[in-house]
Structure 1
Amino acid sequence: MEPTKDETHAIVELVDVLLREGVVVQADVIVTVADIPLVGISLRAAIAGMTTMTDYGMFEEWDAAHRHTGTTTNRDR
Structure 2
Amino acid sequence: MRPTKRDDDAVVDLLDVILRDGAVLEADAIITVADIPLVGLKLRAALAGMTTMTEYGIFEGWDWQYRRRARDEFTGEDQP
TM over 0.5: yes
Deviating 4+ runs (over 6 angstroms):
none
For 2:33, the aligned partner's letter is: V
Which secondary structure does the structure 2 equivalent of 1:57 belong to?
coil
Residue of structure 2 equivalent to 1:13 = 13
Q: Which residue of 1 aligns with 2:65?
A: 65
Q: What are the equivalent positions in structure 2 for 1:1-77 lying under 5 Å apart?
A: 5-70=5-70
Unaligned runs of at least 5 residues, structure 2: 74-80
* Unpaired segments ≥5 residues, structure 1: 73-77
TM-score, normalised via structure 2 length: 0.79
Task: Point out the structure with max Rg over C-alpha.
Answer: 2
The one-character-per-residue Cα deviations of 1:8-47 (angstroms, maximum 9, x if unpaired) are: 1000001000000000001110011111111101100000
Query: What's the TM-score once normalised by structure 1's chain length?
Result: 0.82
2:5 and 2:35 map into 1 onto residues whose CA distance is 45
